Structure 1
Amino acid sequence: MSPLDLLDLGLIGLRTRPARAALSALGIAIGIATMIVVTGIPASSQAALVARLSALGTNTLQAVALPDLNPPAPLPESAVEMVRRIGPVTAGSAVANTHSPVRRNDRLEAGNGSGLTTLAARLDLLPTINARVRAGRWLTPATENFPAVVLGSVAADRLGVTDLPPGAPAPRIMIADRGFTVVGILATTPLTPDIDRSVLVGWPVARSELGFDGHPTVLYVQADEDRIEDVRGVLAETISPERPGAVMVTRPSDALAAKRATESSFSVLFLALAGVALVIGGIGVANTMVVSVLERRSEIGLRRALGATRGQIRGQFLTESVVLAAAGGVLGTALGVAATVGYASWQRWPLVLPAQSAALGVGGAIVIGVLAGVYPCVRAARLTPTRALAGV
């Protein structure tokens, strides 16, 4: 028989008993859908958690000069450029304390700095520390040369500058004895709380107006997470080859260990449940095929009497089993994907659907169909025409 004839013959049982076939396929579909859901939903949840942990600075290091050295050893002016030459480093920036007092206006006493710090900042600071502007804009190559300032979130509250409405006159604050125009307000930066309590000015204007000597105070470094420890090991020597002991480098964030533990965990229990569901579905298909063989003994005997070989009988019932399981696999895959997409969207998680899960959905169903149909098809093929027709 040709493959099309064999397929048409295998569909006879499914067409004559649609309710039973549908229930058997449903068992397989539930197993396949469970497998996809228990791999897709945890993967999406893991991706959301990893993204949150990454936002906590799992790939960020800070380097500062030790404050109590005698003689002092400030960080070199070229420290950022030297750090960027380290292979795994992906970003680097710096700030520097100008030791300039900050006042809301010139009517306040010079010593009233509201507990705020004036920092000279590089233009590439925000992406390096995962910060963002809440209102206004960040410093630009133009504004960094002029008396413009961006406020941290806490600094903005203390100075009474809570918003920068478009079209309204920009507020001004006093740094040292010079007026600076507020051009931006930063959102809260969990990685660097010191930035929240600071006012940030451009590197060039800090030199020209505030007496800044050009030496950075804090270096922020981003590197590949897999090699963050290697970068930390050479960072001090790179920044200050002559006195590496004068540089203190923070250790990687505890969130990095949590992220790695999350990525290495695996939902063994969920996969076991999916496996149980697949086995139950396979048993349902096997039971359906065994009952089908018992009910269709007269059909088997008649076909054998008309010359059908045992191989053709085996092929008929094995095809029926595989088609039944494949239909359940396709249905289960569709249900599993739809459930995963819907739940991930509801939770506002990034959708992560392992491609191998969808492929294994249909493939696993076919394998189950083959395994479940082996015994029934062998049993049907062993029936002799006389035994099969004896009860007719």
Structure 2
Amino acid sequence: MNRRRTRTRTASPRRAHRPAPEDPSRPVRLAVPDVLRLGLLGLRTRRTRAVLSALGISIGVVTLVLVTGIPASSGRALDERLARLGTNLLRVQPEPDQKPPVLLPDGVTAMAERIRPVMAASAVGNTHAVVSRSDRTDPADPLGLTVLASQDDLLPVLNGRVRSGRFLDRTTDRLPTVVLGYVAAARLGVPRVPRSPRAPQVFIGETWFSVVGVLDPLPLAQDIDRSILVGVPAARRWLGFDGHPTVLYVRAHEEAVEAVGAVLPATVYPLTPGLVRVSRPSDALTAKRAANGTFSQLFLGLAGVALLVGGIGIANTMYISVLERRGEIGLRRALGAHRGQIRGQFMAESVVLSLAGGLAGTAIGLAACAGYATYQGWPPVVPAATVAGGTGGTLLIGVLAGMYPSIRAARLSPTEALGAA
């Protein structure tokens, strides 16, 4: 009796350690790599359709990167240029269309320099003379250029540079010599001053003037770009200049620009300060940049429309793929695949298709933006938010585009799918 009881007691633990049989009705879970492989299966078998579907997303992302990258590069170049030129330049001139016209006094430069924060000041005056390439040109056919009487210290105040030749000085400002602005030199056909002893000449009024210099572009004084600069003594002698400046340029300390601009009208024209206008040329460039930003917003909307169209194209492709692959869906359901696996397969296919188009569009957009910025001489800049937003947007589009087709595919029963196939 004791032996039998002992055998019975030792046999029960062995039975308890046997593994439980697996439940055949329990669905098998697919890992993420398996779902991706299933999603890529449909793309590999229909490559042309996949490329054309991803092309719509790529176009939208390329547009998005270009619309944000090019203005950002241009803005960075403008900021660097303003940093070099300085934003502390003020421009003073009489209000136009005044009767009688407002005439700034001859010593307006010295009056402005008495203001303590003013670093330097210089002025130009319109001589109202007509310039032409030769004395045989019709005077009634002007070139749209202005002849200005300039002081010798104008270029340092504007932070300008001479592209070729030299600027006016005490030696040349009494002689019939001129310095051409960048645009004026192009219109007169004198892009640079040759090193030969004989300098090129232009005909102003009734006198030939020798060209001694050509200036680089002046972003903060674009009127100088379209002007011919003559020394004040030479303008008085040969062009009948009356000595009254028409534009005064003032360079002040950065922190006191607003204060200097407030007192300049009463300083240079104390009789009626309201007839004198003070402007800041750097503000005009900033406003121009803001106007370009408005157009960028318009193109940004077009990029969003392109992404929407690309998403609709992917949704259409996925929906047709579900109709064409009902046999495959029915066979997989018959072999034990549950609805979640079918849904995950088509959702993965849609997301991979959209993400591939987004990454390709981002790469193309970055390369195109860098190439264009380099060609323009700008620093290539693409906001990180654009790249992240483009990639995240394509993921969202892929999810939304694949949602309905994947749900429809998961709802197909095995008999229905195999019977329709």
TM-score in terms of structure 2 length:
0.56
Q: Do the aligned residues in 1 keep the contact of 2:346 with 2:402 (CA within 8 Å)? A: yes
Q: Do the aligned residues in 1 keep the contact of 2:115 with 2:260 (CA within 8 Å)? A: no
| CA apart distance, 1:314 | 1.8
Q: Do the aligned residues in 2 keep the contact of 1:32 with 1:336 (CA within 8 Å)? A: yes
Equivalent position of 1:197 in the other structure: 230
Letter in 2 for 1:368: I
Bigger Cα Rg: 2
Describe the shift of the 1:187–1:31 C-alpha distance in structure 2 as closer, same or farther (beyond 3 A). closer
Q: Deviations over 1:277-302 (max 9, x none)?
A: 32222122112111222222233333
Q: Do the aligned residues in 1 keep the contact of 2:77 with 2:379 (CA within 8 Å)? A: no
For residue 380 of structure 1, give the secondary structure of its aligned residue in structure 2: helix
Q: Do the aligned residues in 2 keep the contact of 1:61 with 1:232 (CA within 8 Å)? A: no
Letter in 2 for 1:252: S
Asked if 1:295 corresponds to 2:295, the answer is no
Describe the shift of the 1:315–1:235 C-alpha distance in structure 2 as closer, same or farther (beyond 3 A). farther
Equivalent position of 2:250 in the other structure: 221
Match of 1:252 among 263, 279, 284: 279
Cα distance in structure 1, aligned partners of 2:363 and 2:171: 57
1:26-65 matches, cutoff 5 A: 26-40=55-69, 60-62=90-92
Unaligned runs of 5+ in 1: 86-90, 98-114, 169-183, 201-215
Equivalent position of 2:162 in the other structure: 133
| CA apart distance, 1:21 | 1.4
RMSD over aligned CA atoms reads 5.4
Describe the shift of the 1:81–1:298 C-alpha distance in structure 2 as closer, same or farther (beyond 3 A). farther
Cα distance in structure 2, aligned partners of 1:154 and 1:118: 12
Q: Do the aligned residues in 1 keep the contact of 2:374 with 2:380 (CA within 8 Å)? A: no
1:54-203 matches, cutoff 5 A: 60-62=90-92, 79-80=112-113, 82=115, 84=117, 92-94=120-122, 119=151, 121-122=152-153, 125-136=154-165, 152-153=178-179, 165=195, 185=213, 187=215, 191-192=223-224, 196-198=229-231
Cα distance in structure 1, aligned partners of 2:114 and 2:333: 85
For residue 82 of structure 1, give the secondary structure of its aligned residue in structure 2: coil
Letter in 1 for 2:264: L
Equivalent position of 2:37 in the other structure: 8
Q: Do the aligned residues in 2 keep the contact of 1:333 with 1:358 (CA within 8 Å)? A: yes
Letter in 2 for 1:382: R
Unaligned runs of 5+ in 2: 1-29, 95-100, 126-146, 186-191, 198-211, 234-244
Q: Deviations over 1:251-299 (max 9, x none)?
A: 4379929726624532565344433332222122112111222222233
| CA apart distance, 1:35 | 3.5
Cα distance in structure 1, aligned partners of 2:353 and 2:389: 16
Tell which has more relative contact order, 1 or 2 (C-alpha 8 A, sep 6+): 1
Describe the shift of the 1:389–1:59 C-alpha distance in structure 2 as closer, same or farther (beyond 3 A). farther
Describe the shift of the 1:25–1:289 C-alpha distance in structure 2 as closer, same or farther (beyond 3 A). same
Q: Do the aligned residues in 1 keep the contact of 2:265 with 2:276 (CA within 8 Å)? A: yes
Q: Deviations over 1:321-353 (max 9, x none)?
A: 01001111122223334444555666x474665
TM-score in terms of structure 1 length:
0.60
Describe the shift of the 1:6–1:284 C-alpha distance in structure 2 as closer, same or farther (beyond 3 A). same
Letter in 1 for 2:179: S
Describe the shift of the 1:4–1:224 C-alpha distance in structure 2 as closer, same or farther (beyond 3 A). farther
1:377-392 matches, cutoff 5 A: 377-391=406-420
Cα distance in structure 1, aligned partners of 2:92 and 2:289: 21
